[in-house]
Amino acid sequence: MLDLEEIHAADGLGCELCNLREQGEGRDVIARIRVMDDLERRAVTGEIWQLCRCCQIALSLWESGGVDDLPSA
């Protein structure tokens, strides 16, 4: 069973990973790199990411190594 209690999300701002993917469809590569750098910095410092339920589940599976086709974090 997945434990999503450890993954925090704030309401109303939209999913940061989905937004990053949507930006990937645009042409501003530098902006995408800056956003990804910010997300990585926040992950290292333990700050909260805004995630939708789908990305919460995907991230939880990825970090747990619970899916054979995905590399572990």
Residue ranges of the domains in the chain? 16-64
pLDDT of residue 12: 47
Q: Which contiguous run of DSSP H or E holds residue 59?
A: helix 53-64
Q: pLDDT tens, 11-60?
A: 545 788 887 777 666 667 788 788 888 888 888 888 887 888 888 888 88
pLDDT of residue 46: 83
Read off the pTM: 0.54
Strands (E), 1-73: none
Residue with tokens 């926040």: 42
Structure confidence at residue 67 (pLDDT): 60
Residue 1: the pLDDT is 45
pLDDT of residue 14: 76
